[in-house]
Amino acid sequence: MKKNHDQGVVVMSPAFMFVHRKAVIDLAATHRIPAIYELRVFVEPGGLMSYGVNASEMQRRAAVYLDKILKGAKPADLPVEQPTNFELVINLKTAKTLGLTIPQLLHLRADQVIE
């Protein structure tokens, strides 16, 4: 990213990135590249911001499906659900470190602001 002079990056959350999230966050910080992540677990330890599904809500919905299956429902008969709850989390400390100002409108729309 540094070699390409990238000014920002969107980081998805496949298993590899999730497992190595601290290294990814540290690399973005070291090279002063603003990054937006898919999950809030990247923002809590120092990532700039995340916008994505609420992972806790997704786990709760999965538990409801599992309960139905264990009670005899056929998985093929259960409807496919799409996420309906997305969250925006912003780390102001990281923004300040990167020299970024978060617009007030974005700040107000955030589900959580880490200071």
* pLDDT reported for residue 7: 86
Question: How many residues would you count in the chain?
Answer: 115
Q: Are 58 and 64 in contact (CB under 8 A)?
A: no
Which pTM does this prediction carry?
Answer: 0.81
**Spans of all domains in the chain:** 9-54+85-114
* pLDDT reported for residue 15: 85
* pLDDT reported for residue 83: 87
Q: Is a pLDDT exceeding 80 seen at residue 103?
A: yes
Q: Which CATH superfamily is domain 9-54+85-114 in?
A: Response regulator (3.40.50.2300)
The string of DSSP letters for the chain reads -TTTT-S-EEE---HHHHHTHHHHHHHHHHTT--EEESSGGGTTTT-SEEEEE-HHHHHHHHHHHHHHHHTT--GGGSPP-----EEEEEEHHHHHHTT----HHHHHH-SEEE-
